[in-house]
Amino acid sequence: MTTSTKSNIFIVSILILSVLGCKNPKPNVKLSETVFDSKVDSLMNLMTLEEKIGQTAMYSGGWSVTGPTVSTNNKKYIKEGNVGAMLNVYSVKGTRELQKLAVEETRLGIPLLFGYDVIHGFKTIFPINLGLAASWDLEDIEKGSRIAAEEASAVGIHWTFAPMVDIARDPRWGRISEGAGEDVYLGSKIAKAYVKGFQGDDLSKHNTILACAKHFVGYGAAQAGRDYHTVNMGEGELRNVYLPPFKAAVDAGVETFMTAFNEVNGVPATGNSFIYRDILRDEWDFKGFVLSDYTAIFEMVQHGFAVDNKDSARLAMNAGIDMDMMGDVNRLYLKELVDEGKVDVAYIEDACRRILLTKFKLGLFDDPYRYCDEDREKEVIYKPEFLQAARHSAAISSVLLKNNDEALPLSSEKTIALLGPLVKDKENILGNWGAAGDRKGKAISVYEGIQEYLTDSKIIYAQGCDIETDDESKFNDAVIAAKKADMVVMVMGEDYDMSGEAASRTNIKLPGNQTKFIKRIREAVPNKKIVLVLMNGRPLDLSEEDTLADAILETWFPGTMGGNGVADVLFGTYNPSGKLTVTFPRNLGQVPIYYNMKNTGRPIPASNPHEDYKSHYLDSPNTPLYVFGHGLSYTTFEYSDFKLSAETIGMSDSLTASATITNTGDYDGHEVVQLYVHDKVGSVTRPVKELKGFEKIFLKKGESKTVSFDLKVEDLKFYNSKMEFTVEPGEFEIAIKGTSDFDFEHVFTLE
């Protein structure tokens, strides 16, 4: 640095300190946005257009690879004041080094934001998000994201690119693993829980981070489940199904949004002003800032929407995208586009203002290094209570899909043949988006988890097969183990990178020869119980496994403490309570299949599912293998005494529905009680069932509880064909059940 640059910095720093007020508030003191607004204005008065554009650019530090390689010159750009944020850099040392460049070597010393994909944990990895959703436990989800924020914020991270709130109904799509599943109501509740967990109640605290609702919008509806693929949907579907979780995130105060890679009805999301300007800003009054997905801006050229990269910068800024992730198009072209009159400078001013405001809210102008704290890093990473929480989340996320003849829980008296490629696994168990988690030994394998319950002499281990190869050479050892043991537990599934980004599959069966292996074991021990423990990032076609195994426990990828959490369920320390938030089809041909489909004009009669000229398949039932809301327990629950506070309600009334749930089995346990409604006739047709409420309760054996839901008229609203959010009078069916698989028996009328 030359002496003159140094003295410039000195002069400008003095200037900034005076306009910002030297007596900056202490961290942890919540300031009103108005105070920040005036500080932002003062700062912006000092900035050149290039510096404002600089705030709208984000580059990768390359510590994690989360997209195609693009060459950038980060340090140079930072020093030139051309960078507002970085991704994929973490650790106190790593973030401090770059922050120092921004703060000490640029003209205005504006601190950088550091963003990272903290998706289901940072170091302490929780179950994948689809698994967390299956817990239906909003408090636990909030707590898990709070823990993730605690860990990430201690190593310099200010911002997570989560939650992914895309509704997803296609198991081929690898990113179904990152969301909450197929349902709008549940997805919206979960979106809020994540945002609250990450952002906490005060962004100025050093242990809270910015959340990011992604991917806006429609990403989960990619044609044929192929990642990044085209999305076409009517505005009704967009508003009724895909937008609500994003709106919920806005209502919860989410600070940032990320664009989607896909096009929506012919216009790439990243250049779609209807989505960003009309809906997000004008209708929803979103005040935070919008980040493009990784190189999504210049990908509009490949989409056939932008002429060239420069044109893509124009389209994105005009559409309302405030920050460019990795595309390097804002730095290169925005100034020119303003000079040519193709981008209104006010858009850039707005983008810069929003980004700076966020930096103020985080307290970065008070102390740019406040998130880089070695002591806190040592103290919080893998804190015992965090690991304990991850163990609990793994247990409550597991879904017992099948349990014939009480194959589960396991008894510590019996000898177990422990077979399969994932028994000793410590790598895949973290799932995709394992963030900074340790795949090389920190995680507890299922084998180790089971060792807490069984002496080694009662475990006979054989791997048997691989996840993906066709190698059968290890089958025989496993057959011998199965014959020696009292029963068999097989831990099978997908590789962790078979789900997540760019990980779509056209075959949703267990990969490799795993099913063949299960068959071989079944043939070898026809009379012994076989328990299948699954780890996977999507609904699988388990039709064959369902006929071969006595019990199936879906554990998703359960995270750092997965082995313990899963063993707790297997041995009954935790009675399983997870319920599917996504449908498991019988075969891929049924996809898309989800519980709240429409009825059609020719639904199949229950009495004759094969009746001709009805909406069905020749070669498969319409019903899935496991429905949304399904999940067994070691105990049984009986639902009785359904009551409605009224049979008819008016537009300003609300309705209370209640039912008594009794634990009729032999174990204490949790039950997820679900409220469903069916709007029988609408000016646009309504789904056959819609989740409108749920409550997770705990019942000791023999205990009963009455669960009540207050249903407001507002809860029955939907977007009609004129895109009015409205409710229509008429008859509604209603039920309180423990699954979505039921026929309605009760009706109320809205007048």
67 binds ligand NOJ (CB under 6 A): yes
Nearer to ligand NOJ, 119 or 561 (CB): 119
Under 8 Å CB-to-CB from 722, ≥6 apart: which residues? none
Q: State in angstroms the smallest separation of the CB of 117 from ligand NOJ.
A: 5
Told to check if 626 binds ligand NOJ by CB under 6 A, we report no
One of 55, 66, 259, 330 touching ligand NOJ (CB under 6 A):
66
Instruction: State which of residues 59, 173, 216, 294 lies at the interface with ligand NOJ (CB under 6 A).
Output: 294
Which of 471, 699, 664 lies closest to 577, judged by CA?
699
Cα separation of the two ends of the chain: 75
476 touches 433 (CB < 8 A): no
Please count the residues of this chain forming the interface with ligand NOJ, following the rule CB under 6 A.
9
Distance CA 416, CA 551 (A): 14
Residue 322 is a binding residue for ligand NOJ (CB under 6 A): no
Q: Which residues of 666-680 are buried (b: 16+ CB within 10 A; e: fewer)?
A: eebbbbbbbbbbbbb
Nearer to ligand NOJ, 395 or 436 (CB): 436
In whole angstroms, the minimum distance from the beta carbon of 502 to ligand NOJ comes to 9
CA distances from 599 to 625, 680, 742 (A): 19, 10, 15
For tokens 């989340």, the residue is 393
Q: What is the DSSP string of 211-261?
A: -EEEEETTGGG-GGG-TT--B---HHHIIIIISHHHHHHHHTT--EEEE-S
The single residue listed with the structure tokens 């209502």 is 251
CB 324 within 8 A of CB 330: yes
Phi, psi of 619 (to 5 degrees): -120, 10
| Comparison of 294 and 461: residue with beta carbon closer to ligand NOJ | 294
Give the Cα separation of 286 and 162 in Å (integer): 17
- In this structure, are residues 290 and 276 in contact, taking their beta carbons and an 8 Å threshold? yes
Of 117 and 550, nearer to ligand NOJ (C-beta) is: 117
Closest alpha carbon to 390 in 151, 583, 580, 177: 151
3-state secondary structure of 697: strand
Is 161 among the residues that bind ligand NOJ (CB under 6 A)?
yes
Is residue 293 involved in binding ligand NOJ (CB under 6 A)? yes
Nearer to ligand NOJ, 126 or 161 (CB): 161
Catalytic residue selected from 117, 166, 293, 495: 293
108-137 binders of ligand NOJ (CB under 6 A): 117
Bridge partners, 737 (sequence order): 674
| Residue 293 falls in the annotated catalytic set | yes
- Does 177 interact with ligand NOJ (rule: CB under 6 A)? no
As a whole number of angstroms, the distance between CA 394 and CA 432 comes to 15
* In the complex, minimum distance from the CB of residue 266 to ligand NOJ, in angstroms, rounded to a whole number: 21
Under the binding rule (CB under 6 A), the answer on residue 501 touching ligand NOJ is yes
Distance between CA atoms of residues 617 and 699, nearest Å: 41
Distance CA 243, CA 125 (A): 28
C-beta of residue 739 within 8 angstroms of C-beta of residue 674: yes
CB of 456 vs ligand NOJ, minimal distance in Å:
42
| Residue with smaller CB distance to ligand NOJ, 162 or 338 | 162
| Per-residue binding letters, 208-237, with ligand NOJ (x by CB under 6 A) | ------x-----------------------
**Should residue 299 be labelled a site residue for ligand NOJ when binding is judged by CB under 6 A?**
no
Residue 69-108 contact track with ligand NOJ, rule CB under 6 A, x = bound: ------------------x---------------------
> Considering the complex, what minimum distance in angstroms separates the CB of residue 438 from ligand NOJ?
19
Neighbours of 717 (CB within 10 A): 15
Please choose, from the candidates 189, 187, 194, the residue with its C-alpha nearest in 3D space to the C-alpha of residue 220: 187
> Which residue's CB atom is positioned nearest to ligand NOJ?
66
- The reply to whether 192 sits near ligand NOJ by the rule CB under 6 A is no
Residue 227 or 668 having the CB closest to ligand NOJ: 227
Cβ distance to ligand NOJ smaller for residue 270 or 397: 270
CB of 174 to ligand NOJ, least distance (A): 11
Shortest reach from residue 71's CB to ligand NOJ, in Å:
17
Q: Min. distance of Cβ 222 from ligand NOJ in angstroms? A: 12
Contact residues for ligand NOJ, defined by CB under 6 A: 66-67, 87, 117, 161, 214, 293-294, 501
* Residues annotated as part of the active site: 293
